[in-house]
Amino acid sequence: MSNHAQNRITNKYLNVLTYEAPITFILIIAYNVTQLKGAVLIFVDEEGRTLDRILDALASPIRIEMLKQLSKHDMNYTELIRSVGMNPQKDAGKFSYHLKKLLNSKLIKINEKTKLYELSHSGRTMLEVIEQAKKMLAGSDLLIVRRSECSIEAFDKNKIVNALVKEAGMPAKLAHKVASSVEEKLLDLKIEYLSAPLIRELVNSVLIDQGLEKYRHKLTRVGMPIYDVTQTIKNASKQGGTNAVMKAAANSVLKEYMLLNVLPRNVADAYLSGLIDICFLESWVVSVYGKAYDADLLNKVEGLGTCEALVANLMEDMFIVEKEFLLYNLSDIISNKKLSKQFASTLMKISSISTFEEHKFVLNAANNLEHAEDLIDAFNEHQRNNISIVVGKDLIEKAPPHYISKEGLELIFTTGSKSEVLASNGYKISIKNPENAESFLCGVAAMNVPRLALQSAGNEEEFMESVRRTMQLIITAFTKKMNLTNMLHGNVSIKHHFIVSPCGLFEAIKCLTGEYPTSSSPDILLNVLREMVKLALKGSKKDFQIGIANVCPPQSSKRMAKSDIDRFGFKTISGLSFYPVTSNFAYSTTIVPYDIKMPQEDRLQFEAKVAKVLNGGYMVMLSSPSKDKEIQESVDLAKKYLESGCDSLKFI
């Protein structure tokens, strides 16, 4: 490089420094200029002509401001002159001079399609160089970031750009603009402790300020507030120790992930508002409500006995199954008294482990009438309330006192077929699958029918339309869950089952008509159920089955009632209830409330009509006889229900 060229570079460099110091500082290295640590490399031709024009263009605060304004968005002539505080009439000549300088230096250019002025690649690069120099002079210690990955590093605006493009799907040009705004805020605030979460908060703030809400939503960070983590740890000893802390933390993150990223906004809003409830949404990402296990396959596990294979399967699925383990094909086990007792002992030990205490173990022995009594006797010495045995309806006649008054072990009487198994609430799961296919009860949801009635203000047509819309929301959620389950279980062939139950249907009818439905006037209630079943069948596919069932999970009922009390007031909601209203108020959890005051024959007729409509299982709940003389009467009544078309029955 000639001495003349070096002198020109030096003079222009000094001019830039004079105009912009101390906020701009550029180090130039070209061929034979000594390389300095931390310098920015700008390669130019041997004579330095390109660098000469660039430095000449930057030797003015007005022209640098023009570059900054164009970094935000492209502008026409009038917009650009006004953005730097100049008057289009009075300052036109002066502005044109500055504009020509930037065009000649190729720091800006005219977009051929839009005819707007825009930054060139060189212009954007020079602005970044200026900003880097600004940081160096301001003191690099202020821009050290403590990252969540347990590392410390210098702040880099480009990492914000990359995150916006990768995580939020933002166009690169817009991402640069947002990142620059965040950087300016950081420099102005002079923050001493700069962390990755704080930077994310600032990014979100800038996105809101600039009306970019759709990108902010995609960047939402999920997790637990520090206070909640602290309280969870403090209460660990009361809630299950270390496992409770780990589960609470994981559930918090996964529930937010479901609501923010997996479920569509309208479905998430319906859940949060209490219009629908999804059981165990906090674990929906990784687990299912229940899973069916073929006991015959346990006998075929090489090197393991039946009980060992049972333990291996349950332990393997302890975090996959959230609520119910459904066992069937138990003939080989319960036909051998010794093996039956060993099986019962093993299952009792598993069910008493803290990890499984909240689970249900449902033994479907309905097709093994001959040995079902032996299975019940095997559990006779154990008293666990998380084990249920499903038996055929004929067993109720054989020794009524022994089975109906039994405490601890829950018996479910059923009319079910060999191609189905039951969950503890009477939900029907098909086991008629292709070879190697597994049956999952993937999810259980509830619909807040009183809410729909209240919002319809007595308009039956509007009420029915809202039932349809809400069913579509639930079906959408189920579809998302099916995709998650398939993704997690890879090549496993799965038959997905889902259940929807109408919560508080009796109360909803009263809200619409002013009276509770009866066996002689069930039309509106049956119309609601028919519409739900129609939509469930329409939304079902070969390996994706949706059923409408009688029993709503109690936690769903309580959550929905509380939500409606907050929305409509205690007086309005309690006025719908036929229960004594307490602070623990909940909607009815069965379509025909099991404890409503109604003549028994009327109730029998009513439930028979409802049972014929549902496709997901209709379980009747009868109060256990309190006296021995009432047992036969209860048996006779139970037989009538099971003969009238109800799928299953249990005494509570």
Q: Could you read off the pLDDT of 580-595 as tens digits, one per residue?
A: 666 678 899 999 998 8
Helices 449-456 & 505-513, crossing angle to 10 degrees? 10
The C-alpha atoms of residue 449 and residue 421 are separated, in whole angstroms, by 28
- N- to C-terminal Cα distance for the chain? 96
Mean pLDDT value of segment 466-474:
97
Q: Which two tokens stand for residue 593?
A: 């409330």
* Domain boundary assignment for the chain: 3-126, 140-218, 224-261, 299-422, 443-617
The per-type count for the chain, helices as H runs and strands as E runs, is: 29, 18
Full DSSP string of 61-95: HHHHHHHHHHHH--B-HHHHHHHTT--TTTTHHHH
Identify the pLDDT of residue 582: 67
Q: Which two tokens stand for residue 386?
A: 């998380």
Measure Cα distances from 221 to 90, 160, 167, 202, 643 in Å.
50, 15, 11, 13, 55
Identify the pLDDT of residue 270: 93
Q: Which two tokens stand for residue 239?
A: 């809630």
Identify the pLDDT of residue 503: 96
Could you tell me where the DSSP H helices lie in 105-212?
A: 121-138, 157-168, 172-189, 196-209
3-class DSSP state for residue 168?
A: helix
Q: Could you read off the pLDDT of 51-67 as tens digits, one per residue?
A: 677 878 888 888 988 99
Identify the pLDDT of residue 9: 42
The C-alpha atoms of residue 372 and residue 353 are separated, in whole angstroms, by 26
Mean pLDDT value of segment 257-269:
89
Identify the pLDDT of residue 48: 46
Q: Which two tokens stand for residue 612?
A: 């014929």
Backbone φ, ψ for residue 361 (5° rounding): -115, 115
Which residue did the predictor score with more confidence, 300 or 504? Answer: 504
Q: Which two tokens stand for residue 619?
A: 């379980």
pLDDT above 90 as % of the chain: 38
For residue 2, pLDDT over 50 is answered with no
169 in Cβ contact with 219 (< 8 Å): no
The strand pair at 288-294 and 438-448 is best described as: antiparallel
* 10-19, 282-291, 610-619: the lowest-pLDDT one: 10-19
The C-alpha atoms of residue 64 and residue 400 are separated, in whole angstroms, by 93
For residue 160, pLDDT over 60 is answered with yes
420 closest CA partner among 313, 530, 332, 549: 549
Identify the pLDDT of residue 289: 97
Q: How confident is the model at residue 619 (pLDDT cuts 50, 70, 90)?
A: very high
Q: Which two tokens stand for residue 514?
A: 């002013």
425 closest CA partner among 289, 278, 280: 289
Task: Tell me the residue length of the chain.
Answer: 652
- Which CATH architecture best describes the domain 3-126? Orthogonal Bundle (1.10)
For residue 19, pLDDT over 70 is answered with no
650 closest CA partner among 558, 556, 550, 555: 550
260 closest CA partner among 311, 220, 208: 220
CA angle 203, 262, 268 (to 5 degrees): 90
Identify the pLDDT of residue 218: 81
Q: How confident is the model at residue 49 (pLDDT cuts 50, 70, 90)?
A: very low
360 closest CA partner among 298, 290, 438: 290
3-class DSSP state for residue 115?
A: coil
What is the residue whose two structure tokens read 């009922």?
Answer: 557
Measure Cα distances from 255 to 26, 162, 278, 405, 561 in Å.
49, 27, 11, 41, 21
Q: How confident is the model at residue 1 (pLDDT cuts 50, 70, 90)?
A: very low
Which residue did the predictor score with more confidence, 385 or 23? Answer: 385
For residue 298, pLDDT over 80 is answered with no
The C-alpha atoms of residue 554 and residue 568 are separated, in whole angstroms, by 21
Identify the pLDDT of residue 473: 97
Identify the pLDDT of residue 116: 95
276 in Cβ contact with 445 (< 8 Å): yes
What is the residue whose two structure tokens read 């309690």?
Answer: 574
618 closest CA partner among 639, 646, 582: 646
* 30-44, 177-191, 342-356: the lowest-pLDDT one: 30-44
282 in Cβ contact with 322 (< 8 Å): no
Most confident residue range from 142-156, 440-454, 489-503, 595-609? 440-454
Identify the pLDDT of residue 145: 66
The strand pair at 428-430 and 420-422 is best described as: antiparallel
* 102-106, 443-447, 495-499, 535-539: the lowest-pLDDT one: 102-106
496 in Cβ contact with 482 (< 8 Å): yes
617 closest CA partner among 443, 414, 387, 322: 414
348 in Cβ contact with 358 (< 8 Å): no
Q: How confident is the model at residue 7 (pLDDT cuts 50, 70, 90)?
A: very low
Identify the pLDDT of residue 122: 86
For residue 125, pLDDT over 70 is answered with yes
3-class DSSP state for residue 354?
A: helix
Identify the pLDDT of residue 495: 93
For residue 219, pLDDT over 50 is answered with yes
The C-alpha atoms of residue 173 and residue 171 are separated, in whole angstroms, by 6
Q: Could you read off the pLDDT of 310-332 as tens digits, one per residue?
A: 888 888 888 899 999 999 988 88
For residue 141, pLDDT over 70 is answered with no
Identify the pLDDT of residue 367: 67
Q: How confident is the model at residue 149 (pLDDT cuts 50, 70, 90)?
A: very low
The DSSP element (H or E) to which 321 belongs, if any, is strand 321-328
Classify the C-alpha dihedral 405-406-411-413 as positive or negative: negative
What is the residue whose two structure tokens read 């529930």?
Answer: 255
Distance of CA 201 to the CA centre of its chain: 22
Using CB atoms within 10 Å of the CB of residue 381, give its burial: 0 to 12 exposed, 13 to 18 middle, 19+ buried: exposed
Most confident residue range from 181-195, 260-274, 498-512? 498-512
Mean pLDDT, the chain, integer: 82
Mean pLDDT value of segment 236-243:
67
For residue 368, pLDDT over 70 is answered with no
Instruction: Compute and round to an integer the Cα radius of gyration of the chain.
Output: 35
For residue 494, pLDDT over 80 is answered with yes
For residue 457, pLDDT over 80 is answered with yes
Give the count of beta carbons closer than 10 Å to the beta carbon of residue 579. 14
Q: How confident is the model at residue 143 (pLDDT cuts 50, 70, 90)?
A: low
Q: Could you read off the pLDDT of 523-548 as tens digits, one per residue?
A: 899 999 999 999 999 999 989 999 99
pTM of the prediction? 0.71
What is the residue whose two structure tokens read 């036929």?
Answer: 578
